[in-house]
């Protein structure tokens, strides 16, 4: 008897606990990145108990994102959408021109009415992603098929929130790039940089120079257009990167005469040979890049083209090249790196002619000059990306003074090709990389704690997935997740709304979701007290 009473009590206790958990549907529990403004008004939750939902969509143009909403309601709640003419339908999705921010949106849910609003389709797309995460939180924690009353008015801290893929080092088929874009879109990333050329491969078809792609896989124009369109539907812009004057062995293998005179006779094995450079004094270099950039500009609508500018081994190339040495002499240059000036002036002319703006890595390597001095006089409309470990404060100071736009990809926080822990992957081509833990990535404040007036030129964040040590998309996503969730939040959410413990709680439902979608993620076991 006593035994059975005990059993019943235990059963009740379990029920009580289970019930408490079930009742606590929490709209914020899976938001990633965290929103910048919300209210949790009193009131009854909106329940979704039927298998059909009437949706009011007053403007035709909203049709462009309707399919995404349809999928969310279907996948999360098993609901079929039924279009409705009535503004009193339980769900509304609409353009509201009073919301002026390009990425701003509002979600309001009260009195059994769920309304998504934005001034743009992009804003509505983001509202849908947030809604998806509200449902995800319910599925993961509470299973109530409901949304408690909420008001969210959100927009990002920074306009540029990007990730970079490197199919030059290890090729990534189109389907894999699209799969990656899907995951980026969930977290409101809006730029995908594609590193298309390097020593290990030239990955873009150039119709005027088919020799460039004679070795190895590459994307055709049609495939690139397909990627660009797929990304655009998800409000992601693709930025092409063609790295010059270094990282060019794949091009030199096809056109050895475009290298410095001292390297022209050397054998070029794509994938093995490194550290050669384009000759800065051969006009044919600019002729071929004129053709290339013309084709690039036709395919990528984004207003910038990234032309690299990093890790140019000047002493081994320009300083040993007969042609470059004469130019150095003629111009009275004291340092070989001064040749960067006319080189990028010429490249910029070509990019300008193609109607694009130039983007470059902020190269401050002290191998060639003291980092505190070296930021060659880039034109004002060039955007720089800071990356070198330890040199971001210098780059920030220099660009704040020079007025260049700056994107933040500091090695300390944003290099997602670095291992996530000591001893973790990658197991090959690891050149002694430092580690970037999840917690370290989360600590990233893209404003670097600067006063607001000194942050005006900071456009946002870029997480890099350099591909030397990543053979395929599963390894790429393993390196990207969960750290890119931290970067997504760094780019979107103001510092005052960010909190490590809170981030971890919201991370778990998202990892669960990614795993269910077949995304290879790393289990961040080190953040769990076990």
Catalytically active residues are: 198, 247, 311
- Give Cβ neighbours of residue 20 (< 8 Å, ≥ 6 apart): none
- Interacting residues with ligand TNX between 24 and 63 (CB under 6 A): none
Of 176, 310, 365, 424, the one binding ligand TNX by CB under 6 A: 310
In 155-303, the DSSP E strands lie at: 160-165, 191-198, 201-202, 237-244
* Closest among 174, 224, 166, 169 to 201, alpha carbons compared: 169
Which residue, 157 or 170, has its beta carbon nearer to ligand TNX?
170
Q: Which residues pair with 359 in a beta bridge?
A: 306, 383
CB 466, min distance to ligand TNX, A: 3
Q: Residue 37 contacts by C-beta under 8 Å, 6 or more apart in sequence?
A: 152, 153, 154
Residue 255 to residues 93, 139, 248, Cα–Cα distance (Å): 54, 57, 10
Residue 344 is a binding residue for ligand TNX (CB under 6 A): no
Residue from 387, 442, 478, 503 binding ligand TNX (CB under 6 A): 387
Identify which of residues 99 and 314 has a Cβ nearer to ligand TNX in the complex. Answer: 314
- How far, CA to CA in Å, does 387 sit from each of 33, 326, 463, 464? 23, 32, 10, 9
> At closest approach, how far in Å is the CB of 221 from ligand TNX?
25
Q: Does 199 bind ligand TNX (CB under 6 A)?
A: no
- We find the least distance from the C-beta atom of residue 380 to ligand TNX, in angstroms, to be 22
- Tell which one of 70, 226, 274, 311 touches ligand TNX (CB under 6 A): 311
Closest to ligand TNX by CB, 48 or 361: 361
Nearer to ligand TNX, 164 or 325 (CB): 164
468 binds ligand TNX (CB under 6 A): yes
Task: Provide DSSP, 347-379.
Answer: HHHHHHHTT-EEEEE----TTTS-TTT------
Instruction: Output 103 or 468, the one with its CB closest to ligand TNX.
Output: 468
Give the integer Cα–Cα distance in Å for 20 and 144. Answer: 12
Total residues contacting ligand TNX by CB under 6 A comes to 8
Judged by CB, which is closer to ligand TNX: 344, or 387?
387
CA distance 149 to 114: 9
DSSP state of 82: E
List the one residue from 68, 135, 361, 374 that touches ligand TNX (CB under 6 A).
361
| Least CB distance to ligand TNX at residue 338 (A) | 21
Cβ distance to ligand TNX smaller for residue 212 or 364:
364
| Nearest to ligand TNX of 154, 468 (CB atom) | 468
Give 194's strand partners.
Answer: 165, 240
CB of 388 to ligand TNX, least distance (A): 8
Distance CA 472, CA 170 (A): 7
Enumerate residues 6+ apart whose C-beta is below 8 A from 439.
Answer: 500, 527
**Dihedral angle sign, alpha carbons of residues 157, 488, 193, 391:** positive
Q: What is the token pair recorded at 366? A: 């002290």
Instruction: Output the CA torsion 29→34→38→42 (10° steps).
Output: 0
Q: Does 466 bind ligand TNX (CB under 6 A)?
A: yes
Element (H or E) spanning 153, and its range?
strand 150-154
Question: Distance between CA atoms of 399 and 379, rounded to whole angstroms?
Answer: 12
Copy the structure tokens of residue 401. 């003074």
Give me the least distance between CB of 197 and ligand TNX, in Å please: 11
Q: How far is the CB of 275 from ligand TNX (least distance, A)?
A: 11
> Under the criterion CB under 6 A, does residue 104 sit at the interface with ligand TNX?
no
Minimum CB–partner distance for residue 228 and ligand TNX (Å): 23
Paired residues of 154 in beta bridges: 105
Q: x-or-dash pattern for ligand TNX, window 400-439, by CB under 6 A?
A: ---------------x-x----------------------
Summarize as ranges the residues that interact with ligand TNX (CB under 6 A): 310-311, 361, 387, 415, 417, 466, 468
């Amino acid at each position: 008897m006593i035994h059975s009473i005990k059993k019943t009590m235990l059963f009740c206790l379990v029920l009580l606990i289970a019930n408490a958990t079930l009742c606590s549907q929490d709209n914020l529990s899976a938001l990633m990145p965290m929103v910048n403004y919300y209210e949790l008004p009193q009131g009854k939750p909106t329940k979704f108990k039927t298998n059909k939902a009437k949706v009011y969509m007053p403007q035709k143009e909203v049709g462009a994102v309707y399919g995404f909403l349809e999928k969310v309601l279907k996948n999360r709640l098993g609901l079929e959408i039924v279009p409705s003419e009535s503004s009193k339908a339980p769900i509304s999705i609409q353009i509201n021109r009073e919301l002026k921010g390009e990425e701003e949106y509002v979600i309001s849910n009260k009195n059994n009415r769920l309304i998504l609003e934005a001034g743009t389709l992009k804003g509505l797309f983001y509202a849908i992603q947030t809604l998806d995460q509200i449902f995800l939180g319910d599925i993961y924690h509470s299973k109530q098929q409901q949304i408690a009353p909420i008001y969210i008015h959100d927009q990002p801290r920074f306009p540029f929130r990007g990730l970079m893929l490197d199919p030059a080092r290890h090729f990534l088929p189109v389907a894999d790039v699209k799969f990656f874009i899907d995951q980026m879109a969930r977290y409101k990333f809006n730029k995908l940089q594609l590193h298309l050329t390097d020593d290990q491969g030239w990955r873009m078809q150039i119709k005027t120079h088919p020799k460039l792609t004679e070795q190895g896989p590459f994307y055709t124009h049609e495939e690139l257009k397909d990627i660009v369109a797929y990304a655009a539907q998800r409000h992601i812009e693709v930025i092409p990167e063609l790295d010059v004057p270094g990282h060019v062995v794949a091009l030199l293998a096809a056109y050895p005469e475009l290298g410095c005179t001292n390297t022209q006779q050397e054998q070029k094995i794509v994938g093995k040979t490194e550290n050669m450079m384009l000759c800065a004094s051969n006009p044919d270099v600019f002729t071929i890049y004129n053709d290339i950039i013309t084709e690039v500009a036709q395919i990528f609508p984004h207003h910038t083209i990234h032309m690299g500018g990093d890790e140019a081994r000047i002493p081994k190339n320009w300083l040993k090249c007969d042609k470059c040495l004469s130019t150095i002499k003629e111009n009275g240059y004291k340092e070989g790196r001064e040749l960067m000036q006319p080189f990028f002036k010429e490249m910029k002319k070509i990019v300008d002619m193609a109607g694009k703006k130039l983007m470059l890595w902020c190269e401050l390597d002290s191998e060639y000059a003291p980092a505190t001095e070296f930021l060659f006089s880039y034109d004002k409309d060039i955007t720089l990306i800071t990356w070198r470990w330890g040199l971001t404060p210098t780059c920030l100071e220099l660009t704040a003074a020079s007025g260049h736009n700056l994107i933040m990809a500091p090695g300390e926080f944003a290099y997602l090709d670095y291992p996530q822990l000591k001893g973790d992957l990658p197991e090959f081509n690891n050149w002694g990389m430092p580690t970037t833990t999840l917690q370290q990535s989360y600590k990233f404040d893209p404003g670097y704690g600067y006063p607001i007036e000194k942050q005006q030129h900071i456009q946002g964040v870029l997480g890099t997935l350099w591909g030397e040590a990543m053979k395929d998309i599963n390894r790429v996503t393993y390196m990207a997740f969960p750290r890119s969730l931290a970067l997504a939040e760094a780019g979107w959410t103001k510092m005052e709304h960010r909190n490590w413990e809170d981030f971890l709680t919201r991370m778990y439902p998202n990892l669960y979701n990614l795993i269910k979608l077949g995304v290879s993620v790393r289990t961040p076991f080190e953040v769990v007290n076990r």
